[in-house]
A and B are shown apart, each in its own frame.
Chain A
Amino acid sequence: MKKHILPIIAIILLIASCEKDDICIEPVTPQLVIRFYDNANPTEYKSRTSLYVWAEGKDSIYNDVSTDSIALPLNPAEDFTIYHLSSNDIDDTITINYTREEIFVSRSCGYKYNFNDLNLADITNNWIISTEITNQTVENETEHVKILH
């Protein structure tokens, strides 16, 4: 027994010391998900074609895409983000207001933000007919905003 106990403890220690939490694998700050619906039939998704999306003063994050769903990062340094949505050379802007809540995730991921009290303001209606907030809290990446067109 005495002869075996040391190797056994050494093995336990080796296994225990191999565990890693140095790599961030948990989800971090979620993005705002906008889905496009058909104004004539508000329960059906409808794609926009030739869509360009950029935040005020930034480069495009969507370039000439055709989609019924976009995920937009919200500015983590401000309580609002202004986005330009341009489709078939028709521009619309939308201001997204929110409050930021920092949430501790883990040693390697640090803190993430959840965005609460979501609301939309200063919406232009060139191709966007109407908007609706379906989820006021951005804590995971499911639909938060409906755009009817």
Chain B
Amino acid sequence: MKQNMSRFCISILLLTVAFSANAQEETTKDSIKLKDKYGLRLGVDISKPAISFFNDKIKGLEIVGDFRITKNIYAATELGYYERDTEEDYINFNSKGSYIKVGGNINLYQNWGKMSNEIYVGVRYGFSTFSQTLNSYSPNFDGTYFDEHTIFPNLDFDGLTAHWAEIVIGLKVEAFNNLYLGSSISLKKMISQEQPENFKNLYIPGFERVYLNDTGFSFNYTISYLIPIFKKNK
């Protein structure tokens, strides 16, 4: 229990000092044979249901998974559904759809002892199929000589698609045996997208907010469980 507790504390410590901690280069000279666990790790993004709970204009779910291929390389994927209403100064619209991201991570963190944590960088290819609905807009004109009025066209733009690339950096900490807490940030750049006519893809599930030069970024906070399949010597 004590050992478990200290492992937990070390893991939490790692979370806070994650980005300065990667200079650690000591290797342990231990007579005990240490083994790395390989397997399928499955989890969910806990931030999206939490946001849905507090904001009824947003609904989302993301399932994450990765598979360890070599000592430091993991194949990774994210699958999700996202729906949100966005209100801007002159427009109000809804975006909804699902997305998939596939790619891999490289672990840059050197574990010691029985620890199994990661600080990683990764790349993803993302694809989303979604729809947007223009709920309302107020024609934008200078001055207040005429009163502003709002039009409710409820215009649907269906069958939209987007392809993008992502760079991901993140960390995963084994908080309990085989149970991992993770967080990551990803920077996105659009490759291609199908734009609606006389409107624009402003919010894409998986890509999230589309900035002016077709870039975006997002965060996730995951809790995941490793299903160990085999072990290899360190």
- Residues of A participating in the B interface, judged by any CB pair closer than 8 Å: 2-3, 5-6, 9-10, 12-13, 16-17, 19, 21, 24, 28-29, 31, 55, 58, 61, 73, 75-77, 100, 102-113
Residues of A within 8 A of B121 (CB): 5-6, 9
Q: CA–CA, A106 to B19, complex, Å?
A: 37
28 A-B residue pairs with CB within 8 Å:
A2-B22, A6-B108, A6-B169, A9-B169, A10-B19, A12-B187, A13-B187, A13-B217, A16-B215, A17-B217, A19-B215, A21-B212, A24-B89, A24-B90, A24-B140, A28-B142, A58-B145, A58-B146, A73-B143, A76-B141, A76-B149, A102-B198, A103-B198, A108-B89, A109-B90, A110-B88, A110-B140, A111-B140
Judging by beta carbons under 8 Å apart, are B141 and A111 in contact?
no
Given known A6-B121, A19-B212, contact A29–B169 (CB-CB < 8 A): no
Residues of A within 8 A of B151 (CB): 102
Judging by beta carbons under 8 Å apart, are B140 and A28 in contact?
yes
Separation in Å of the A78 CB from the closest CB of chain B? 9
- Residues of B participating in the A interface, judged by any CB pair closer than 8 Å: 19, 22-23, 88-91, 108, 119, 121, 137-143, 145-147, 149, 151, 167, 169, 185, 187, 198-200, 202, 211-213, 215, 217
Judging by beta carbons under 8 Å apart, are B141 and A55 in contact?
no
Residues of A within 8 A of B169 (CB): 6, 9-10
Judging by beta carbons under 8 Å apart, are B141 and A29 in contact?
yes
Q: CA–CA, A16 to B208, complex, Å?
A: 14
Given known A9-B121, A12-B187, A13-B185, contact A111–B137 (CB-CB < 8 A): yes
Q: CA–CA, A77 to B151, complex, Å?
A: 10
Judging by beta carbons under 8 Å apart, are A112 and B91 in contact?
no
Judging by beta carbons under 8 Å apart, are A104 and B200 in contact?
yes
Residues of A within 8 A of B142 (CB): 28-29, 31, 73
